[in-house]
Structures are given as structure tokens and as C-alpha cells.
């Protein structure tokens, strides 16, 4: 048995034990495992497995970890996202911010591409379930929301700057989701880690409400930070690994926000005009 075959079998064993693997997916994996243990040709069985998974794979309907596995067996390189920074102790000039604003696929790039950002990690937080899976969170069984944890250098970028950016890329008047992302797990939240962050976020929210930009109330929640659970590898840096799919999602989101921001500008200008007369 060569090293690649050993690695793939280890992947299969881990996926069988993975609670996030769907029953049908697990059945296909068990068939391969049993066949190989009974002397069947591994390559032939792997080809059979790939064929059985293909209909769901082409529709992006496999669970995240199985999607990574499918990409590996079909020759696509799947880099494992380095979570070292999430677990490491922050340096003297480092701080963390946690924001939820709809699907975390679209929340990473706006922060990740800013100067002073050390890492942006997709994950789940705010709920009651330990080690939540994507399937559980989107099923709204956990109380968690999809969120991003941002580790940044305070010498280059300030927390208040990140809060300001957060308002720009979310709809603060919608507490039932964001744009096309509906459900409690997509509600917008600023998770504050200390009193200073709470003061900054609260003041920023109040200033936004007083600005007159929005006709509806500002309903984004400000809540104490809870344990942040990193999401599966498939979701990390989605905008880099799945560029075309991300562009389609982001285009729809940006169209909605652009229209909302235009209405906000018109509303503010009308208010100023009325004040003059």
C-alpha cells in the first residue's frame, strides 16, 4: 500500500467517524472500506466512490469535509487552512474582533484585504452547541451564527475602523438575516470582547442611528463574545478557493448594498435640504 492510498484510506475512516457526514455519504464510504478490507482493488473502488459522489459534487451539495475529500480524489489541490493564529496567544499589539453579517463566505475578503489584518477566520459563535458543524448551524439547531474572527495589528488598524467597515458591508436594519441569507444563523451581530469594544461599538451604532441614513431602526445586536468555533476547511478563505462562485454571491450582495447606500445618501441630502427651508 503506497503513501497516497494510505492517506486516502485515513481520510475515509475519519469521514466515516465524522458526525457531520450525512448518512448517505457515510454509506458510500463504508462500502469502499468494506470492499477494500475484503481484497477489492482500491483504485477501482475509489473510482466507484467518485462516480457515486459526482452528482452531488457538481451541485455543490456534499458536506464541507467530504467536498474537500472529493476535490482531493479528483486531482484538485485543497490547501488546509492554517488555524495556528486562532489558537495562539495574541501579541502585545494584537487584538481580535468578531462580526456576524450573513454568510461568512462574503464577510472575509472585505477585512482580509485591509492593511493591518493578520488573519480572518470563518466560524460559528453565539450559540449553545460545542464543536458545531455547518450542517447543524444552517439547520438552526445550535443557536450559533456564521461569523468571522479578525486578528489585527492595532498599530496599523483600529477596532473603530473595523466597526465602520462592518456597517458598510451589512444591512443593519435586518435582524432576520442578510440580503438573500435568511434565518437566525445569519443575523447581524457585533460580538464585543471587552468594555472598550462595547463602548466603541455602542457609540458607533448610536451615531449610525442618528445619521438619518436609514428609514428603519438599526437592529444589529451587540453581544458579549462567546467561544468562537472555526468552521470546516472548505469554508476558510472561500473567496480565494471558489472564486467564480464567490463572485456570483458577492455581486448580488453588492448590488443590494449599493442601492441601500444610494437611498441613504438621498435621504440625508433631503433632510439637509429641508433643514435649510
**And the C-alpha cell for 259?**
442601492
Strand partners, 209: none
Question: CB neighbours (10 Å) of residue 104?
Answer: 25
Residue in 12, 15, 103, 150 annotated catalytic: 103
Cβ pair 210, 186 in contact under 8 A: no
Collect all residues with Cβ–Cβ distance below 8 Å to 117 and sequence separation of at least 6: 111, 150, 151, 152, 153, 157
Collapsing DSSP to helix, strand or coil, 145 comes out as strand
CA distance 75 to 47: 12
Is the Cβ–Cβ distance between 149 and 121 less than 8 Å? yes
Q: Which residues pair with 150 in a beta bridge?
A: 97, 120
- Which residue stretches of 59-157 are H helix? 64-73, 84-87, 109-112, 134-138
Question: Is 106 known to be catalytic?
Answer: no
As annotated, the active-site residues are 103
Amino acid at each position: 500500500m503506497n503513501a497516497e492510498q494510505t492517506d486516502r484510506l485515513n481520510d475515509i475512516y475519519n469521514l466515516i467517524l465524522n458526525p457531520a457526514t450525512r448518512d448517505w455519504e457515510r454509506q458510500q464510504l463504508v462500502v469502499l472500506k468494506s470492499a477494500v478490507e475484503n481484497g477489492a482493488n482500491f483504485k477501482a473502488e475509489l473510482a466507484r466512490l467518485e462516480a457515486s459522489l459526482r452528482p452531488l459534487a457538481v451541485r455543490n451539495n456534499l458536506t464541507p469535509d467530504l467536498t474537500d475529500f472529493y476535490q482531493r480524489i479528483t486531482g484538485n489541490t485543497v490547501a488546509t487552512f492554517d488555524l495556528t493564529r486562532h489558537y495562539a496567544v495574541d501579541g502585545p499589539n494584537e487584538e481580535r474582533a468578531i462580526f456576524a453579517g450573513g454568510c461568512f463566505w462574503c464577510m472575509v475578503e472585505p477585512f482580509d484585504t485591509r492593511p493591518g489584518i493578520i488573519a480572518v477566520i470563518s466560524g460559528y459563535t453565539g450559540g449553545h452547541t460545542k464543536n458545531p458543524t455547518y450542517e447543524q448551524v444552517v439547520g438552526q439547531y445550535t443557536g450559533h451564527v456564521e461569523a468571522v474572527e479578525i486578528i489585527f495589528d492595532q498599530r496599523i488598524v483600529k477596532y473603530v475602523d473595523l466597526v465602520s467597515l462592518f456597517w458598510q458591508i451589512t444591512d443593519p436594519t435586518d435582524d432576520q438575516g442578510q440580503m438573500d441569507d435568511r434565518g437566525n444563523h445569519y443575523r447581524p451581530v457585533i460580538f464585543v470582547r471587552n468594555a472598550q469594544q462595547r463602548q466603541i461599538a455602542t457609540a458607533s451604532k448610536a451615531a449610525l442611528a442618528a445619521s438619518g441614513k436609514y428609514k428603519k431602526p438599526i437592529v444589529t445586536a451587540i453581544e458579549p463574545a462567546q467561544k468562537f468555533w472555526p468552521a470546516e476547511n472548505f469554508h476558510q478563505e472561500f473567496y480565494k478557493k471558489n472564486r467564480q462562485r464567490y463572485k456570483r454571491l458577492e455581486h448580488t450582495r453588492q448590488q443590494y448594498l449599493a442601492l441601500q447606500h444610494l437611498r441613504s445618501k438621498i435621504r440625508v441630502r433631503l433632510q439637509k435640504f429641508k433643514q435649510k427651508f
